[in-house]
Amino acid sequence: MTFADQIIDFNKNLVFSGRLPDGIRIMNPFRENPEINGIMEQFYKKYYDDHSQRRMILGINPGRLGSGATGVPFTDTKRMAEKCGITINGFKTHEPSSVFVYDVIDAYGGVKKFYKKFYIGSICPLGFTQQQTGGKEINYNYYDSPALTKAVTPFIIESLRTQLAWDIDTSVCYVMGTGKNAAFFEALNKKEQFFQKVVPLEHPRFVMQYRSKTKETYVDKYITALNDA
């Protein structure tokens, strides 16, 4: 199996069978929207259909407008079309985090060069939503409540072990999110010994929301980390 085949098989077979806290819903785009599987397969077959070793970059968990809509972390429909050459018909999404990530990818040398070296995933490969008053759903992170963190930790460990059975370079892992996400993963990595080294980087959403005027500084920080480790 190529790297692409392993990712596709992993995504299609993602199932969380645990019990979630009240008011929290699991978001599994690969089961909820069959069209996403076609998009996801096109992407990985285009950029990962080989046997190259890659380093992992881990986000938090999928959001509704990024991989929740395309099946690919930090890739909205606009970046999928403009940067990856894969057109999605019927709906459009704009995810600010995706803008930053593709700025990093461009600075690294473009999609082909970047995806040949790196595989972007999430600490928790399925996302969560919380229902608000009036029925609106918002993104929810695995660390937003101790009860949810406890409920999904076994699933997180199992999912990471599955992915690390692929041709992953375990000398280093980059974690998006220097706060709770990094703290959780560094503690988990110390216990489970997934990677020799963990490098936390500011989360793209944080940069776009609070540091947009100095975005290039963070792009440079990413590029330095990706090249130096």
Return per-residue pLDDT of the chain as tens, 229 residues.
999 999 999 999 999 989 999 889 998 988 888 888 999 999 999 999 999 999 999 999 987 666 777 899 999 889 999 999 998 887 788 888 999 999 999 999 999 999 999 999 999 999 998 887 777 888 889 999 999 999 999 999 999 999 999 999 999 999 999 999 999 999 999 999 999 999 999 999 999 999 989 999 999 999 999 997 5
Cα end-to-end span (Å), the chain:
28
Query: Given the DSSP bridges, would you call strands 198-201 and 127-131 parallel, antiparallel or unpaired?
Result: unpaired
> What digits encode the pLDDT tens for the residues 147-205?
999 999 999 999 999 999 999 999 999 999 999 999 999 999 999 999 999 999 999 99
Query: What's the order of all strands across the beta sheet hosting 118-122?
Result: 118-122, 54-59, 168-176, 198-201
